[in-house]
Chains A and B, each alone.
Chain A
Amino acid sequence: DGGITQSPKYLFRKEGQNVTLSCEQNLNHDAMYWYRQDPGQGLRLIYYSQIVNDFQKGDIAEGYSVSREKKESFPLTVTSAQKNPTAFYLCASSRVDVETQYFGPGTRLLVL
C-alpha cells in the first residue's frame, strides 16, 4: 500500500522537553510538508521541503525544526521554545510537478 504514515498517533510532552514527530512516505514524492491544525484556524504551514537536504520555513516555523536526510522521511521536532505546542500535526507530500498534496493521518500532541 502506498501512502503516508505518521507516528505516534498521540504524543505527550513535558515542560522543557523536545519531542520528534515521524513522517514517512512511500509515494516517491519529492516534496513534503508539515502543518499545524488548531480548532477554527485551518491548517498553517510550519516547514516544507522540495528536495533531500533542503527545506524552507513556512508561516509558523518558530519553535520547530526539521531535517530531510532521506526522500522518504521528514521528521519534525517540537522544541522547548514552542510555548504552545498542543495541536494536531499533519504531514503531507506531493510530486514536484503537481500541486495536489496527500496527507498522513496526523499526530496529536498534548502537554503534560
Chain B
Amino acid sequence: AQSVTQLGSHVSVSEGALVLLRCNYSSSVPPYLFWYVQYPNKGLQLLLKYTSAATLVKGINGFEAEFKKSETSFHLTKPSAHMSDAAEYFCAVSGSQGGSEKLVFGKGTKLTVNP
C-alpha cells in the first residue's frame, strides 16, 4: 500500500526566497509521484510528475522536484518565491506501472509568501 507524508502543514517564506516543500512516500512498487497545487476554492492543478524517467522533474511556474529513492523523498523546490505562489500544495503517489490507479494524497502544505 502506498502512503505520503508531507512535513509541515504550513510553510512561510519571503518573496524571492527559496521554496522547499517536503514529501516522503511509502510504496511497495516503483512509484509514480505527483505534485498538485490548489488555489483557494479551486480544483487541483498538476505541477509536475515523476514516472521513472529523469529523477529531476521540471514543472510549471518554475517548480521542480527531485526523486530520491534512497531517501524515499520527492521534495518540491522553487529558487525564488513569488506572491502568486501562495497556495496549498499536495504530494500524491500511485503504485501503478500503467493503467488508471488510485492516487494517495498527502494532507497538504499551505504556502504563505510574505512581501
Residues of A within 8 A of B (CB): 4, 6, 30-31, 33, 40-45, 48, 50, 58, 88, 90, 92, 94-106, 108
Min CB–CB distance B21 → chain A (angstroms): 14
Provide the residues of chain B in CB contact with A43, threshold 8 Å.
44, 90, 105
Residues of B within 8 A of A (CB): 9, 32, 34, 36, 41-46, 49, 51, 90, 94, 96, 98-103, 105-108
Q: Determine if A48 and B99 form an interchain contact, defined as CB atoms under 8 angstroms apart.
A: no
Q: Determine if A42 and B105 form an interchain contact, defined as CB atoms under 8 angstroms apart.
A: yes
Provide the residues of chain B in CB contact with A45, threshold 8 Å.
102-103
Number of A-B contacts (CB under 8 A): 61
Provide the residues of chain B in CB contact with A94, threshold 8 Å.
100
Provide the residues of chain B in CB contact with A88, threshold 8 Å.
41
Q: Determine if A108 and B41 form an interchain contact, defined as CB atoms under 8 angstroms apart.
A: yes
Please report the C-alpha to C-alpha distance between residue A92 and residue B32 in the assembled complex, in whole angstroms. Answer: 17
Please report the C-alpha to C-alpha distance between residue A105 and residue B44 in the assembled complex, in whole angstroms. Answer: 8
In the complex, which of the residues A6, A42, A48 contacts B102, with contact meaning CB atoms closer than 8 Å?
A48
**Given contacts A43-B90, A108-B41, are A102 and B100 in contact (CB under 8 A)?**
no
Q: Determine if B108 and A100 form an interchain contact, defined as CB atoms under 8 angstroms apart.
A: no
Which of B46, B51, B90, B100 neighbours the largest number of chain A CB atoms within 10 Å of its CB?
B100
